[in-house]
């Protein structure tokens, strides 16, 4: 799989920033389209990417919830340079479960993903080449509803399931789909956490794990493995047992 032209949402911090820098360093990368909502942070990432490699860096300030803006941006990028990897990475934490925050979480984490991958998939379907990848950032939190963050875990469960289903659904079109479920990785989201974060990782090694497993065509990229095993086990336990365990987990304060 040759990855020359990449489009990445949520690139101004965390895993998105680390992924942008990782791909900018790769000699085969020619164009890197990145977006975010904070112009200062995105410009900082752009400069770091330009310094890291020879790829041309294209930036866009937009909200992934804006369906028309996303479609226009993706279609423009595709017209300039046929995309090889479209990465729906943008996401937010709910923090306090207020009505406003709940709607914002669902709009960004679900509809933001849909607004990113839907126009990309339609463009991919028109092409006959095999260098076409969709990647979706979900979360370990998507394996089981977490009482400390119900909206966040629900949205991540949604896109995790959607990505897993799309992997086989789009196989006839030679479109490769990956769903990423990281554990606790340094980001603007985890910086606000006050609960324990076992197996905490820096963003750079997390990005490297993701990129290398995409290259190996791993469909579900969940890490670190002890957390993946724990949440998988929690997801298959009878409700009486899982409720006993989950209600004893620490809440954010």
CATH architecture, domain defined by 5-246? 3-Layer(aba) Sandwich (3.40)
Overall pTM surpassing 0.75 (yes/no): yes
pLDDT tens readout for residues 25-54: 999 999 999 999 999 999 999 999 999 999
The string of pLDDT tens digits covering residues 136-163 is 999 998 998 888 889 999 999 999 999 9
Q: Which residues pair with 177 in a beta bridge?
A: 134
Greater model confidence, 76 or 239: 76
Within the chain, where are the H helices?
14-25, 39-52, 67-80, 99-106, 112-125, 150-169, 203-215, 225-236, 239-246
pLDDT for 176:
98
More confident site: 78 or 248? 78
Residue range 156-203, pLDDT digits in tens: 999 999 999 999 999 999 999 999 999 877 766 656 655 556 666 899
């Amino acid at each position: 799989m040759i990855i020359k032209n990449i489009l990445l949402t949520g690139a101004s911090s965390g895993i998105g920033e680390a992924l942008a820098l990782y791909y900018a360093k790769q000699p085969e990368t020619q164009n890197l389209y990145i977006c975010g909502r904070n112009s200062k942070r995105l410009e900082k990432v752009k400069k770091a990417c330009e310094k890291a490699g020879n790829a041309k860096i294209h930036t866009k300030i937009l909200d992934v919830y804006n369906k028309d803006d996303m479609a226009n941006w993706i279609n423009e990028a595709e017209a300039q340079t046929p995309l090889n990897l479209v990465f729906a990475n943008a996401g937010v934490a709910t923090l306090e479960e207020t009505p406003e925050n709940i709607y914002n979480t669902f709009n960004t984490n679900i509809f933001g993903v849909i607004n990113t991958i839907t126009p990309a998939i339609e463009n991919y379907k028109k092409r006959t080449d095999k260098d076409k990848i969709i990647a979706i950032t979900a979360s370990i939190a998507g394996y089981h509803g977490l009482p400390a963050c119900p909206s966040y875990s629900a949205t991540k469960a949604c896109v995790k399931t959607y990505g897993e289903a799309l992997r086989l659904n789009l196989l006839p079109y030679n479109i490769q789909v990956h769903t990423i479920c990281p554990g606790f990785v340094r980001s603007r989201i985890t910086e606000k956490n006050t609960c324990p974060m076992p197996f905490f990782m820096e963003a750079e090694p997390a990005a490297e794990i993701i990129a290398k497993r995409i290259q190996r065509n791993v469909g579900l990229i969940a890490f670190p493995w002890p957390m993946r095993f724990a949440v998988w086990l929690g997801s298959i336990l009878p409700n009486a047992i899982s409720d006993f365990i989950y209600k004893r987990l620490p809440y954010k304060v």
